[in-house]
Amino acid sequence: MAEKLRFAIYWAASCGGCDIAVLEIGHNILKLAEAAEILFWPAAMDFKYKDVEALPDKSLDVCLFNGSVRNSENEHVARLLRAKSKVMVAFGSCAYEGCIPGLANLTNRGDILTCVYQETPSTDNHAGAMPQTHWAVPEGDLELPEFYDAVKTLAQVVPVEYFVPGCPPVAAQVWNVLQAIIAGQLPPPGAVVGVGTRNLCDECERVREGTKVKRFVRPHEVIADPQRCFLEQGIICAGPVTRAGCGRPCIHANMPCRGCYGPPEGVSDQGAKLLSAVMAIIDPEADVEQLVQQIVDPAGTFYRFSLPDSLLQQAKWLEVGKR
């Protein structure tokens, strides 16, 4: 029997959904266990960082890394696993493009800490205590990871071979990717794997009639017609700027696509492209300013999953660097 593949699975700044997504492959997990030996998976089994540190460099065949890089611990483990792994996979939207944690980049470290430790109504912090990276107590020195100013994607911290989008990646795609890894049939490095072709609309069965939008509404404000394209009902759907591959669970639950599979090939900024499409389909009779008002939280709506990996983020880092 061929030697088993040596696997690691890690979570950085993530919700844990990506670890569950691996378990969602169901009975196929037995096939994975047959083909692979798991040497590190903190969400599922008891491992310590020192177990990884003890491994020789490049001794892991594959690391599935989920979660974005929010603090120095995330970065430390990303570098450690990179050194130990032949193939690094940014697994899930957080590692790939920043995802929901990445929306924190609308603000900054100082404002987040002030809000969380001083301003929330349930906080009682008269002493004004703030988290410190080092603290001396009689028992010895205590350390906490440093909270960064911004959330970064995995590829912004270490070189990455493959990207698997999705919040979380759907089970069928996870299994596709695992099978490709087991069979040694991965495409050339740099590829986005576990996806379809083109965008969601290409596969979507909803009827499109060219109807222009008189009023934008949020999903909770109406009961959407389950047959018609969301956009034509004034409900912002990220399908046009989202890579196919998820099988459209949201669309089938009568909810618009939120864009978690990231931009299709060739789209450099998912948010700006969605904005460009959405504001082009407005009805000639509608008032532009009213339409603008109807889009509540534009940054969150258009950049829900892709902010740290966007051109907008690069513009911000350039400006912050100048200050």
Partner 1 sequence: MSNPDTIDPKFKDEVMAELGGEHLLRCYSCGTCVSMCLVSRVSSEFNPRRTMRMVMLGMRDEVFRNPTIWMCSACDLCYPHCPQGIHISELMRAIKNIAVRDGYEAPGPVAVVNEEECSGCDVCEKACPYGALSLVTKVFDGQQRKVSQVNKNLCMTCGICAAACPLSAITVEEYSNEKVAAQIQADGWLTEPAQRLPGEPQLLVFNCSWNLRADVDRAALTRFPPNVRVIVLPCSGRVDPIFILLALKSGVDGVLVAGCQPGQCHYKQGTRIAQGRMRILQQILDQMGLDMSRVRFVQIGTEERGRFPALVMQMLADLKARMEPANITA
- Which residues contribute to the site for ligand SF4 (CB under 6 A)? 200-201, 204, 206, 208, 229-231, 237, 239-240, 242, 246, 248-251, 256-261
**Could you tell me which stretch among 137-145, 165-173, 217-225, 311-319 binds partner 1 (CB under 8 A)?**
311-319
Residue 274: contacted member of ligand SF4, partner 1, none (CB under 5 to 8 Å, by partner type): partner 1
Going by C-beta distance under 8 Å and a sequence separation of 6 or more, which residues neighbour residue 290?
215
What's the rounded Cα separation, in Å, for the pair 104 and 126?
Answer: 26
184: alpha, beta or left, given left = phi > 0 and alpha = psi -120 to 50? Answer: left
Degrees to nearest 5, angle at CA 104 with 293 and 41? 135
**Residue 52, SS3 per DSSP:** helix
Cα separation, 257 vs 287, whole angstroms: 26
- 248, interface contact from partner 1, ligand SF4, none, CB < 5-8 Å by kind: ligand SF4
Binding to partner 1 by CB under 8 A, coded x per residue (else -) over 240-259, reads: xx------------------
Nearer to ligand SF4, 152 or 304 (CB): 304
Q: Are 207 and 257 in contact (CB under 8 A)?
A: no
Residue with smaller CB distance to partner 1, 126 or 323: 323
By a kind-dependent CB cut-off of 5 to 8 A, residue 168 interacts, out of ligand SF4, partner 1, none, with: none
Q: Which residues 127-186 are close enough to bind partner 1 by CB under 8 A?
A: none
Q: How far is the CB of 261 from ligand SF4 (least distance, A)?
A: 4
CB of 238 to partner 1, least distance (A): 9
Question: Between 182 and 291, whose beta carbon lies closer to ligand SF4?
Answer: 291
CA dihedral (252, 24, 246, 212) in degrees, to 10, reads 40
Chosen from ligand SF4, partner 1, none, partner binding at 291 (C-beta under 5 to 8 Å by type): partner 1
Q: Does 299 bind partner 1 (CB under 8 A)?
A: yes
Output the smallest distance, CB 168 to partner 1, in A: 24
Q: Which amino acid is at 274?
A: L
- Other CB atoms within 10 A of residue 56 CB: 8
- x/- map, 66-105, partner 1, by CB under 8 A: ---------------------------------------x
Q: Minimal distance in Å, beta carbon 267 to ligand SF4?
A: 11
> What does the H/E/C string look like for 181-239?
HHCCCCCCCCCECCCCCCEHHHHCCCECCCCCECCCECHHHCCCCCCECCHHHCECCCH
